[in-house]
A and B are shown apart, each in its own frame.
Chain A
Amino acid sequence: MLDKNGIAKRIAQEVEDGYYVNLGIGIPTLVANYVRDDISVEFQSENGILGMGPFPIDGQEDADLINAGKQTITALPGASYFDSATSFAMIRGKHVDLTILGAMEVAENGDIANWKIPGKMVKGMGGAMDLVASAENIIVAMMHTNRAGESKLLKKCSLPLTGVGCVKKIVTNLAVLEVIDDGFLLLERAPGVSVEDIKVATEGNLIIRGKVAEMSV
């Protein structure tokens, strides 16, 4: 089974040379730590920077330089700043190659819910609705089950939706899955996790074709 860093490490393998990548808050933010250093990648943060670098060295924080999670960051050589409308022109206009974000629920038709629990939590969608409605290459990073042990890969989302039919790939602590026409196609198992474990943890239709390889992380 993977921990959060393990999920980030596996997703980092999906990042290709020349990609502009938008990372969501939480596990997705960790992906930047594991991208191969022999490829050229630029990270976009929707509050207005391309070419985002690591956190600043202690004492060098700049209040005017943050990421979408409001954390202090740095800018790498070649970075640029822009306003929010331009930022979402990059996203809506499909100029960003890969979007990695977290989710509370994903349905077997690719629907995603990650912004609201009625009566409990209303923080807002931030940029998530714009991202999922426009990006062609979306990877969801999340735990396979919630804290109560219930599956987050469902036949149908129970929470208010963020977007419809948009998720293509999911990396969880148990598996890598692809959303295809009739459900979740199981691509890889996490180390030490059996197909049976994944079946039990998946409420939506799980499709198994032949022998499922264990992922290398």
Chain B
Amino acid sequence: MIRKTVANVTDALAGVKDGMTFMLGGFGLCGIPENAISELVRLGVKDITCISNNAGVDDFGLGLLLQQHQIKKMISSYVGENDEFERQMLSGELEVELTPQGTLAEKCRAAQAGFPAFFTPAGYGTEVAEGKEVREFDGKMYILEEAFKADFAFVKAWKGDAAGNLIFKGTARNFNPCMCGAATITVAEVEELVPEGELDPNQIHIPGIFVQRIFQGKDYEKRIEQRTVRQK
């Protein structure tokens, strides 16, 4: 077995530098790599580009990096929950590239799977299509979207093993599997790092080949953004 385990988040983020491009898993605050984000804040890396579906909230998730003005550019599909984000965007401090959600996922998957680009109908005829190649297939119009290129992918899984195999839980899966193997180095943090042989190979969502470093995460807050309940 090829071992991917590192001791802690500091070792996991070795090599992270100013100006790099990072992918971060999660949808809203669900399934975000909390430990990696905290470490990026501690390291204080600057001028980074973040590829993430959302931008966190003011005081959690990627909002923590925004507070410290560490992000130069965000590539996201929806950024509506963060006032600081909006302020930095409107003042021109922060560059923002809004990308349709399915296109965002596929640009990750394409990078993972070795496709340089793909055609999608999403965004045809809108400002998203500006400057992009357009082609017609069977009477329908499509635009050419290119795979992402990133230095690190930070993902969060429920369980993982020393081989880097990952299993996700519920809708915390979201963008995390799409980002594994889509960057030069994929760092997986897990709620539970189990002994080798304990995960059933039939149930693995992401094989360890897509992961370079894995570590046991800690102190997960797993904050709920919109607590919505019904009465009994």
- CB atoms of B125 and A125 under 8 A apart: no
How many interface residues does B have (CB within 8 Å)? 58
Does A64 touch B at the CB level, under 8 Å?
yes
Of B106, B122, B222, the residue contacting A133 (CB under 8 A) is B122
Does B80 touch A at the CB level, under 8 Å?
yes
CB neighbors of A among B169-205 (8 A): 169-178, 205
* Chain A residues near B27 (CB-CB < 8 A): 47-48, 66, 68, 70, 84
**Smallest Cβ-Cβ distance to B224: which chain A residue:** A63
- CB atoms of B101 and A84 under 8 A apart: yes
Of A48, A64, A68, A91, the residue contacting B102 (CB under 8 A) is A91
What is the CB-to-nearest-CB distance from B10 to chain A, in angstroms, rounded to a whole number? 26
CB neighbors of A among B118-144 (8 A): 120-128
Contact A134 B170, CB 8 Å, known A57-B230, A63-B224, A72-B226? no
- CB atoms of A160 and B122 under 8 A apart: no
- CB atoms of B105 and A85 under 8 A apart: yes
CB neighbors of B among A35-87 (8 A): 45-49, 54-73, 75, 81-85, 87
- CB atoms of A122 and B89 under 8 A apart: yes
**Smallest Cβ-Cβ distance to A82: which chain B residue:** B173
Does A207 touch B at the CB level, under 8 Å?
no
* Chain B residues near A87 (CB-CB < 8 A): 102, 105
A interface, by DSSP: helix, strand, loop or mixed? loop
Does B81 touch A at the CB level, under 8 Å?
yes
- CB atoms of A123 and B79 under 8 A apart: yes
Does B42 touch A at the CB level, under 8 Å?
no
Contact A126 B126, CB 8 Å, known A63-B222, A72-B228, A92-B102? no
Residue with the greatest number of chain A CB neighbours at <10 A, chosen from B30, B80, B103, B231: B30
* Chain B residues near A193 (CB-CB < 8 A): none
Chain A 118-155 per-residue mask, 1 if CB under 8 angstroms from chain B, else 0: 00001111111110011000000000000000000000
CA distance A61 to B226 in the complex (A): 10
- CB atoms of A123 and B230 under 8 A apart: no
CA distance A162 to B222 in the complex (A): 32
- CB atoms of B231 and A66 under 8 A apart: no
CA distance A130 to B231 in the complex (A): 35
Chain B residues in the interface with A (C-beta under 8 A): 27-31, 53, 76-81, 86, 89, 96, 98, 100-106, 108-109, 120-128, 158, 168-178, 205, 222-232
| Given A58-B232, A83-B205, 6 other A-B residues pairs in contact with their CB atoms under 8 A | A48-B174, A59-B229, A70-B29, A82-B173, A84-B53, A122-B96
Chain A residues in the interface with B (C-beta under 8 A): 45-49, 54-73, 75, 81-85, 87-88, 91-92, 111, 122-130, 133-134, 160-165
- What are 11 of the A-B contact pairs (CB < 8 Å)? A57-B229, A63-B223, A66-B224, A66-B225, A125-B77, A125-B100, A126-B77, A126-B101, A129-B101, A160-B127, A162-B126
